Structure formats: C-alpha cells, structure tokens
Structure 1
Amino acid sequence: MSLTSVFKKFPKTFWVANTIELFERWAWYGFFMLFANYLTGSSDAGGLEFTQAQKGMLMGIGTGILYFLPVITGSIADRYGYKKVLFIAFIIYASAFILLPMFDTFTGVFIMYLYLAVGAALFKPVISATIAKTTTDDTASIGFGIFYMMVNIGAFFGPMVTLLFKNSSYDLVFYISAGIVSINFILLLFYKEPDRKPNNDSLGTSISNVFKNIGLVVVDFKFMIFLLIIAGFWTMYNQLFFTLPVFIAQWVDTSIVYDFFNHYLPFFSENYSTHNGQMEAEFITNFDALFIIIFQIIVSTLVMKWKPLRTMMTGFLVCAIGMSLTLFTQNVLFTFAAIYIFAIGEMAGSPKITEYIGRIAPADKKALYMGYSFIPVFLGNVFAGFISGNVYQNMSDKTLFVKQEVAKRGLEISENLSQNEYFNKAAESMNMNPMELTNYLWTSYNPSKIWYIILAIGLFSVVALYFYDRLLLNKKA
C-alpha cells in the first residue's frame, strides 16, 4: 500500500485534529520552554525571581496534575461531546495565557498555572481519542506518526517564535501563546464530531466509574511496579524543561555559538541572544525538538522490529547518558552533543512505552490499562519538580552560591537588588567580571555534580526494568 493511498483514507477530521494539535503544542511549548527561567530569572530581565524550590514545586505539581486529570476530563468529553469540551478547553487556554503575566506572587502564579493545566487536561484526551477514532488498523501507525510529528513541529516553532519577543517583554510570550491557541477556534468550525459511543450516565456516575477503574489497575501489583519504573524515565526526561534551561542560563558559555551566528547567520544572533554575547538558553535546548523532527523517522525505522522492552531499555540508557551529560560542562558544543544523544534515546524509547503496556495488559483489560498509562507521566512530573527544585537549588543554583560566597567573604551587598545587579555587584566587589565570577563559582562549588543524580535515576530505571521483566514476568520480551 503506497503512502499516497494511505493518506487518502484519512477523513477530513483527522487532518483538522492534527492541525489543532500543532497550534496547541505551538502555544504550549512557546511558553513552557521559557517558563523555568521566567519563574527564576532576574527581575530586571522580566523574571519573577522565585527560588528553584518554588519553581520545582510549581512546575512539578502543576504539570503533574495536568497529566492526572485526563482520566476525569476524558469522561466529561464522552458525556458532553468532544467539540464542546474542545471549545471550553480553548477558552481556558486563551484566558489563562492572558491572565498569567498579571500575577507575580508564588500563590497567584501557582493558581493560574493550575487553571491553565485544567484547559490542557480537557484538551489532551479529546484530541488523542479523535486521532484514534479517525484511523483504522491499516492507517493507525502512519496516523499516529503524523500526529507525533505535529507535536514536535509545534514544540520546535513555539519557542522560536516567542523567543523573538522575550527581550521586549515576557508578557508578550504569554500573549503570543494566547493568540496561537485561539487559531483553534477557527479550526473548530471544521471539526466534525467523530463517531463515539454515547455516554448517558450522569457526570457523577462517570467520574465514580473512573475511580473504580483506577482501583482495578492499582491492585495489579506487577503493572503498578512497571508504572513506577517508567516514572523514573519521565523524571529524567522532564529535566529538559525543568532544569536544563536554567543550568544553561546560569553556567554554560554560549559565546562560541553567538560568534558563529553573528558571522554567518546574523538573524539568529540578533534575535536569539541575550545581547551580551550569549545565546538564549531556550534556543540551545530547543535543538532537541529539531533533532526529533529530522531523525525520528530514521530512528523509528531502525528500532521498528526490536522488542519493546529491549528498545525501552536501550532508549532509556541513551537518554540517561545524554541528559546527565547536558549538566556536565560549561562547553556549549558538548551540550549540543549531549542533547543529540538524549534525543536519540528519546526517539527510540519513549514511543515503545505504550506498545509495551498493550503487550503486558490482560487481554480483557487492554483499553483500561492503556487509559491509565498517564500515571508514570504524572509521577515523573512531580518527582522532576523535586529534582529541579530542592535538589538543584542545593547542588547547582548560582544565585544561592554567589550569596554564600558573599557571606563567606563578609561583603555587604543589598538584598534589594535584582539577581543580575546583585551578581554584578558581587563580581565587582571581588575584583572580577561576571564571567570570571561564574567560572570561580563553577570551580569552587562544582554545580555539575547534579549530573550524578540524573544518571542514577536513568540507570535505576534501566536496571529495574530488566529485573522487572526477568523476575516478575518471568519471560523474555
């Protein structure tokens, strides 16, 4: 069967849903890739100067709830209709993006982020179900391949657009995301409700059934162990958004990338730099999505015939090595190489998780088990928030280290200064320039040691997955 003939089998709603997904991911990643540095960055650069622990709590719990709620919001969609729920989701999305920059206290931002998470939780199960219902056994593989390609295209272009306006005002980042997601109101006019089994139960009954089903899954000890192991992978994976942008902004010297673009492609150095000879941290991190767009088909083809467990273990191991190495050095070229390694592992291992769940689920409960594969993503976000929050703050936070150094030397510097002003004043008081002080803190406090933690989490997932299959399942897969 040719690719063209497969494409012709997709109904119009399939393409509408994929386009909606593209703009939703564009809007989401347009702000989310920048969110960690927005929360913790210097106030004179538009940041809120939250602590790393506050950032970790907010992003970890908020994003975790986003992935927990779809089991409930999916029932709401089945009860009231996909199109209505999508409309409500986009209203919440757009209003949350507009309201978020109006709050600058931890409580205010946390509440607004939870509000945004509700919109995302309403959206996720509906759009995934639409893709599933508009594909067949013959077209599902290519159909979901197209869907995930749309995810990564949106993930790449979102930050590339919002970063153009970050230096003017962080508020514009959120307003642009509101504008992008609002395009979906127009696309919704062309969205046709796919065939679905009517749910005439009351909303209360539907939600009650959800929690009864959770109980059925929880009592399956082997399955819960598997989900906890996979949570380790997601804990490591989420450092791409929670920790890496902050680490690059605080520690990595990106001047060589700036000089390259300034010489050969000045558009990038003019629009994606911090205007002090350094590139934006999120510009560097965003190469993960670019690598996936370029190499996903190649990697998927290479591992297509591998058994899911072998692929997951290999992918998780490569991911663990790549992500830990991104936090290893101040050399940005090394960081690029590490992000590439991470992306290869992500492309190999992540898609196989769903396939493996389908393989180990009881024959009469496959749909139920697939529906609750959200649990490791939920847990992974919560755990990742702790690692990028309290752990990063104590092991790698430059803001904390410079204050410790100031106190150690008995220097008097006002706490009312912004982070950047405080750092520059500290450098001046120690007869250094900011880069020299950064290098001194790097040598003295060894912030890269957090890479041991990330690698250990990844290796634990790989080893635990191996013994899970050999000892609990007692079979090779």
Structure 2
Amino acid sequence: MSVFGKFPRTFWVANVIELFERWAWYGFFMLFANYLTGSSDAGGLEFTQEQKGWLMGVGTGILYFLPVLTGAIADRYGYRKVLFLAFLIYVSAFLLLPQFSTFTGVFLMYLYLAVGAALFKPVISATIAKTTTDATASIGFGIFYMMVNIGAFFGPLVTLLFKGTSSLIFYVSAGIISLNFILLLFYKEPGRIENTKSTERLFETFAGIFRNMGSILKDVKFIVFLLIVAGFWTMYNQLFFTLPVFISQWVDTSVLYDFFQAHFPFISYNYSPASGVMDPEFVTNIDALYIILFQVMVSSVVMKMKPLRSMMSGFLVCAVGMSLTLAFQNVLFTMIAILVFSLGEMAGSPKITEYIGRIAPVDKKALYMGYSFIPVFLGNVLAGIISGSVYQQMSDKMMIVRKYVEEKGLSIPEGLSNNAYFDEAARQSGMSPHELTDFLWNTYHPSQIWMVLMVVGVGAAFALFVYDRVTSRSES
C-alpha cells in the first residue's frame, strides 16, 4: 500500500474527474448503438446498421483525432481552462442530442459532443502522466484505467433505469458530468510551463502545432506503432458498436433472466425489456465489472513486463475473447468470452498510454498524449465499417429477415416498426419470434462475423511482435 502514498493530490482529483466523465459518457454510449438502430416502438431511431457504423465510427473517430490539436492547446493555455470549456460542451450537447431524430441532426450533435470529449481527453491523460514516475507509472495508469471502468460500469446501470424515456438517458449524463465543475476547484495545474506570450494569436498556436506534427511524423517507428495499435482498437470498439446489437438480435438471455428473477428480482425487474430477456447493455457492461475486480491484480502482474510484450499478449487474448462473444447464442458463453476479452484488455490497453507517456518529452506530455489517440481514431473509423456495412451484410437480423421474407414470398405490410415486422414474419411462417430467430441463426449463420474480428486482432498482435523484434534489434 506504500506506493499509493507516492501519488500527489492532483493525481487523485484527476482520477475522480475521469470517473465522473466516463460515468456520463458510457451512461449513454453503451446504449447508443441500440438507440440508433432499435425499433421505434421501443424508443429507437431505426437507423440502418450502416448509418450507425458511419455515425459512431466517424463521429467517435473524430473525437480521438482532435486531441492531436487540443492537447497542444491545453499545453499552451492551461489545463483548467480547457477542462472547464470541455464540461460546458458536454452538458449542452447531452441536453440537445435527444432533440434530434434525423441522421444528419444526430450526426452533427454527436460531433459537437465529440469536441468536448476531445478537449478533455489529452488533458486528463497528461495529468496522470505528469503525476506519476517510472516507478509508479504501471500502478498509476492501472488505477486510472480502473477508474475509467468504475465509471463505465455504473454509468449504464444508472441510465438503463431510465431507458423507458430515451431523452432521460442523455439528461442523466448531463447531470453527472456537471459534478466535475465542483472537482475542478480542487484541481491544480501539474507542472505545466506557463505561456508568457499572452498576445500570441490562435493561428500562431496552430502553426506551432502543425510544426510539431511534422516533426513527429518523421519518427517512422512511432508512426508504425500507432498504425499497429489501430488494429487493437478496431477490435476493441466492437464491444460498443456491435456486441449490444448482436446480443439484442441473437443471444438468448433467458438463463440469466431466470437466475436474477429467482435470486435478485430487483435486477430482473429494472434491467429487462421483457419477461425472459435481459437488457443487452447490462450483459455487455460486465466487461467493466471484470476490470474493476481484476485491474489492479493484472497491473501488478504485468508491471514488470516490457510494455510491448504486455501489449502483444493482451491483443492476442482480446482477439480470442471478442471473437467468441459473437460466436454463440448462449449468454453464459458470451459472459465467459467477455471475461477472456477483459483480461487481454487489462494487460494491453493501459500499457499503450504508459508506453507513450514514458517516451514523451516532459514539456510536451499533452501533445504526445494527443497522439496516443491517433490509433483510437483509426480504430473507430475501421470499427464503424465492420459494425456498419460488414455487420449489416453478414449478421444484421433485420436484413436477414427481409431476405428470408423475399425468398419465401411473404407479404408484409409497409410502415411497420422493426419489431412488428419481425413478429409478422414469424406469424406468417407459423413460428414464434424465438423460433424464427433460431431458424435464421442456423440457416444464415450470422455468427460468422467472429472470423473477421479474429483476423484483425491476431494480425495486430503479430504485427506488434514483428515491430518489437525490429525495434529491439535496432536499439541494441
């Protein structure tokens, strides 16, 4: 426990700020995919999977690209000022987002929200990097990542209680992020070099940013590293982009429902859209619970490992776990697969930030932390393609049932919600909705998308292995 006393107060304040920010973010984001594509009679917008993929992929990708600029802005103008602006944007975006229902409107509001998140991310990561040392970095970033997942765990659990009214999901997130205005009073700038050129214009600041970008782009090894890590994030983001939709469409959660109904009826009552069915986001959220329980232990195990070796192992385990989540209809298998995935995530993901934090110059921590988000940007865009057009063609239940209806020559009235359309297809086929789901599963094999993710994940792990061998040889 002595290591915990080595962290300054700002480290702990930053961690609590991160907790509430992630609480607010995941409170809506874990539900976002099904909100976008869900049936209108259940509060969804009925966007196609491809629209969802573009919105979540490009929108979230831009969120992770902008820190390249916002990190340098924070270094120049002050962390507290940038955090305050970020929280203002968060609150206003959460309040406005549910007022839009068209693809264009939702997309633009989501981009506005992304600006707030982009202002926030490099500042909080740089704060952790500046308040840890080489001796405390592994544990420090492990604690930070655990805080991320405490917020990620409780956020959806709270907002799911209000899922009956979609707008309340966003309003709850607005309320949670507002708590950070109070914490900001206790936040101290962690050794930032003050800008003495108060008259410097904004365009001059951006000119310096792009000069710095040019110098970093000359570091070929670093750029190759960022591109490899993008493969990990492509796979990882399926946890939010694809898995909740896949569970909602294909996975039988009745066993889990029956367990909670018998032993913890509060859970089955509040986290079930219908009798015998658990909310898919509740199931997916178990990833955050695993990390809360095991992150410090895993960090302690891998703290003496070289970051690249830990990342390699983590990427490979993640590939197996995430692929298996999309391979079965049984929710128990899904939960075991999420555990496998989370163990890989705990070993690999914090090490990415730690690795970049170690090699970053002291006076440019936020700038370099901004570049740590470049692979996340690429991973989100690629994940959007997989969860969008690829998922729509291979695994989307509505696309498959429409194909089935066309093949069978069934006549389904126009204008029905997605749920009503599926129920009518089942009725005309002489099957219950559950029986039709099983028939489509066995006939059209939507689970085959697991192979796509396995190729991406294993490819990233192998590329990192080659990168490690080449860079180790060149440094020796």
- The TM-score bracket by the shorter chain reads over 0.9
Structure 1 CA distance for aligned equivalents of residues 4 and 368 of structure 2:
33
Letter in 2 for 1:2: S
Distance in 2 of aligned mates of 1:392 and 1:453: 10
2:177 is equivalent to residue 181 of structure 1: yes
Q: CA deviation at 1:142?
A: 4.1
1:345 is aligned to 344
Alignment of 1:123-272 (within 5 A): 123-135=120-132, 140-166=137-163, 168-199=164-195, 200=197, 201-272=200-271
The letter for the 2-side match of 1:321 is V
363-372 or 433-442: which moved more? 363-372
Superimposed CA distance per residue, residues 221-247 of structure 1 (whole angstroms, 9 cap, x where no aligned partner) = 332222111110110011001000000
Question: Which shifted more, 394-403 or 176-185?
Answer: 176-185
Offset of 1:91 from its aligned partner? 1.3
Higher relative contact order structure (alpha carbons within 8 Å, sequence separation ≥ 6): 2
Match of 2:371 in 1: 372
1:470–1:476 CA contact under 8 A, matched in 2: no
Query: Contact conserved, 1:76 with 1:203, CA < 8 A, in 2?
Result: no
Would the alpha carbon gap of residues 273 and 293 (structure 1) be closer, same or farther in structure 2, given more than 3 Å must change?
A: same
Aligned-pair CA distance for 1:372: 1.8
Q: Provide the rounded CA distance (Å) in 2 between the counterparts of 1:366 and 1:87.
A: 20
Pick which of 132-141 and 145-154 moved more: 132-141
The 5 A counterparts of 1:34-433 are 34-135=31-132, 140-166=137-163, 168-199=164-195, 200=197, 201-357=200-356, 371-433=370-432
Q: Could you tell me how far 1:361 is from its partner in structure 2? A: 7.8
Can you give the 5+ residue segments of structure 2 that lack an aligned partner in the other structure? none
Alpha carbons of structure 1 residues 169 and 411: separation in structure 2 relative to 1, 3 Å? same
The reply on whether 1:449 has 2:448 as its aligned counterpart is yes
Give, in whole Å, the separation in 2 of the partners of 1:362 and 1:74.
14
Partner Cα separation in structure 1 for residue 287 and residue 19 of structure 2: 17
1:143 Cα deviation after fit: 3.7
Partners of 2:75 and 2:367 within 8 A in 1: no
| Aligned 8 A contact 2:149 2:292 in 1 | yes
Q: Return the offset for 1:442.
A: 0.4
| 3-state SS of 1:47 partner | coil
Task: State the Cα RMSD in Å.
Answer: 2.3
Contact 2:17–2:180 (Cα < 8 Å) also in 1? yes
Change (3 A) 1:227 1:251: same
CA distance in 2, matches of 1:192, 1:138: 22
Distance 1:87-1:321 versus aligned 2 partners, 3 A rule = same
Q: Quick one: distance in 2 between partners of 1:246 and 1:279? A: 13
Q: Secondary structure at the match of 1:275?
A: coil
Cα distance in 1 for residues equivalent to 2:127 and 2:358 = 23
What is the alpha-carbon distance in structure 2 between the residues aligned to residue 4 and residue 351 of structure 1? 18
Change (3 A) 1:135 1:361: closer
Quote how far apart the aligned CAs of 1:72 are. Answer: 1.3
The letter of the residue matching 2:181 is F
| Residue number in structure 1 paired with 2:8 | 10
Larger mean CA deviation between 230-239 and 139-148 belongs to 139-148
Measure, in 1, the Cα distance between the counterparts of 2:140 and 2:352.
18
CA contact (8 A) 1:469 1:476 kept: no
Offset of 1:260 from its aligned partner? 0.3
State which of 28, 31, 45 in structure 1 corresponds to 2:28.
31
Count of aligned positions: 473
Amino acid at match of 1:129: A
Q: Deviations over 1:422-458 (max 9, x none)?
A: 1101110111110001001101110000000000001
Q: 1:14 to 1:297 in 2, by over 3 A?
A: closer
Indicate if the aligned counterparts of 2:35 and 2:44 stay in contact, CA closer than 8 A. yes
- Do the aligned partners of residues 270 and 24 (structure 1) sit closer, same or farther apart at CA in structure 2, a change above 3 Å counting? same
Unaligned runs of 5+ in 1: none
Distance 2:66 2:277 in 1: 39
Letter in 1 for 2:219: D
Contact 2:68 2:367 in 1 (8 A): no
Contact 1:245 1:281 in 2 (8 A): yes
* Structure 2: distance between partners of 1:88 and 1:381: 24
Shift of the alpha carbon at 1:474?
3.0
TM-score when normalising by structure 2? 0.94
Verify: 1:460 aligned to 2:456, yes or no: no
SS at match of 2:179: helix
Structure 1 pair 329/140, CA: closer, same or farther in 2 (3 Å)? closer
Using the alignment, how far apart are the partners of 1:413 and 1:235 within structure 2? 37
Deviation at 1:179, TM superposition (A): 0.8
Q: Distance in 2 between matches of 1:362 and 1:245?
A: 40
- Residues 84, 221 of structure 1: alpha-carbon distance in 2 compared, 3 angstrom cutoff: closer
